Amino acid sequence: MTERADQSGDSTELDPLRYALRQQGAAFGQQTSRLNTTAQDVEVLVGRVAGLLNQVTELQRELAISRSSEPDVNSPPLYDGDPNACQPFLSKCALVFSLQPRRYATEEARVAYVLTLLTGRAREWGTAVWDAQAPCCHSFSAFQAEMTQLFDRSARGDQEVSLLSCLTQGRSSVSAPNVTGVPEEYHDLCTVFCKSRATSLPSHRPYDCAIDLLPGTSPPKGRLYSLSSPEREAMDKYINESLHAGLIRHSSLPAGAGFFLVQKKDGSLRPCIDYRGLNEITVKNKYPLPLMSTAFELLQGAQVFTKLDVCNAYHLVRIHEGDEWKTAFNTPTGHYEYLVLPRLLENQLFVKAEKCEFHADTVSFLGHVISPRGVEPDSSKIAAPLMALTSTKVLFRWNPQAQVAFDNLKSRFVSAPVLCFPDPERQFIVEVDASEVGIFYLFLFLFFLFLQVQL
């Protein structure tokens, strides 16, 4: 009995061990199955990788063959904004793209290639356009159109002007200037009295206005001003007239100055552009200006005077080709840039015949009346302070102090002296007083001797 009991107890103790061994064997069997499946998957992946390697090798071989089929083309020379070289430069770039389409497959790659070949003024424009990410940077055709509009010199405008000059009305040409009131001695200069030429776009000349920017700068983007209904009407009229005359054109550069209007004395509105941001980054060129006294010295001995009134003086000088984009300005209805320089006087001007004075003995000039006697203040300028109390912006109050000031000013202004023209060939005398407080000097010209001799 004891032996059987011992055997039964040992069997009971071995059952958990047998169960654990069976479970372990089953787990090993599952692991072996998984390893076999993984090995099969690895073999499949190895086959796929081998196939991909074969494809890559084939693509590399085809790419090498395609590259060898594209001819090597020399890059065009650097372009600096020369109007006469714009079209040849763009044509050479288009030739490179047509012969090497795979090397320059995208539009951005072609635009970037052109930008690397720009220098001087053209590089300034291209850098500003690329930094602003203008729409033309994503299309070579659009970029080419912008460059053509900005830098290319076309004779189409000259042809249109010549065709216009051939039009006649009756026996006279429509472009013939009106010289009514102009003496016959000046009829050989009739072209300077032509209004149609004065209001049209002038041609480029050696002294066109260049806008040089400081290194590493580009025109900033100005604010957009809010305009009232009358201001918007005045703006539309100014923009339409300027576009029709060819003084401005549409611009694609996002940067630009602000546009607003100010009221003039007569109540009309004057267009103004906020170029303060552009002025801060512009190279300040300094030129000598003639002195007023020097101009009056040239009138010594003159007896007959002629005065010319300049017609549209501010629009008679062109912006240097390639610098027009720097004058861009923003309006609520569009983006434009100037082809002429606003508010600047220049040579080769046109004049208004109806406002000119010929062979006169007395003319007014910059607040002075010029005559054979000399230079004296204009009476209208002298009377201007007396009209201050008539202003609508000041409350009219007349008092004894105002009466005294009025009498004093009247006697002083009405008796304004006439200054004779200085003669540099005669002697000048400087007289100085002996005051201990200050120095008073009198500049005399021995003109009375000349009068005595003449008498």
- Crossing angle of helices 120-131 and 140-151, in 10° steps, is 140
321, 151 Cβ separation under 8 angstroms: yes
Q: What is the pLDDT of residues 160-196, one digit of tens each?
A: 444 444 444 444 444 455 555 666 666 556 655 555 5
- pLDDT at residue number 378: 64
Taking the model in full, what pTM does it have? 0.48
As to burial, measured by CB atoms within 10 angstroms (0-12 exposed, 13-18 middle, 19+ buried), residue 19 is exposed
Distance separating alpha carbons of residues 308 and 182, to the nearest angstrom: 11
As to burial, measured by CB atoms within 10 angstroms (0-12 exposed, 13-18 middle, 19+ buried), residue 367 is exposed
Name which of 209, 195, 206 is nearest 245 in CA terms: 195
Q: Where are the domains of the chain?
A: 1-67, 83-151, 164-284+295-357, 362-454
Beta bridge partner(s), residue 270 = 262
Distance separating alpha carbons of residues 118 and 347, to the nearest angstrom: 32
In sequence order, what are the residues at sequence separation of 6 or more whose Cβ sits closer than 8 angstroms to the Cβ of residue 432?
439, 440, 441, 442
| Cα distances (angstroms) measured from residue 235 to each of 150, 206, 239, 273, 331 | 24, 32, 6, 12, 9
Q: What is the pLDDT of residues 197-226, one digit of tens each?
A: 555 666 777 778 788 888 888 888 888 888
In sequence order, what are the residues at sequence separation of 6 or more whose Cβ sits closer than 8 angstroms to the Cβ of residue 110?
93, 97, 104, 140
What is the sign of the dihedral through the CA atoms of 389, 393, 394 and 396?
positive
- pLDDT at residue number 177: 53
Name which of 289, 301, 447, 280 is nearest 371 in CA terms: 301
What is the sign of the dihedral through the CA atoms of 55, 57, 58 and 59?
positive
Name which of 191, 193, 197, 190 is nearest 351 in CA terms: 193
What is the sign of the dihedral through the CA atoms of 20, 24, 26 and 27?
positive
Q: What is the pLDDT of residues 114-156, one digit of tens each?
A: 999 998 888 888 888 888 788 888 888 889 888 888 887 654 4
289's tokens: 């200006």
Question: Taking the CA of residue 333 as centre, how many other CA atoms within 13 Å lie in the half-sphere pointing to its CB?
Answer: 12
Which residue in the block uniquely carries the two structure tokens 């010929």? Answer: 358
- Domain 164-284+295-357 -> CATH class: alpha beta
The pLDDT tens digits along the chain (455 residues) read 555 555 555 566 677 777 788 888 888 888 888 888 888 889 889 988 988 988 888 887 776 666 556 777 788 889 988 888 888 899 899 988 888 888 888 889 899 999 999 988 888 888 888 887 888 888 888 898 888 888 876 544 444 444 444 444 444 444 455 555 666 666 556 655 555 555 566 677 777 878 888 888 888 888 888 888 889 999 999 898 888 878 888 887 767 888 999 887 667 888 888 888 888 888 887 777 777 777 777 777 777 777 776 555 556 678 888 888 888 898 988 889 888 876 532 333 445 555 667 767 777 776 677 777 777 766 555 555 455 566 666 666 666 766 776 776 667 556 655 566 666 676 666 666 666 655 555 555 544 433 333 32
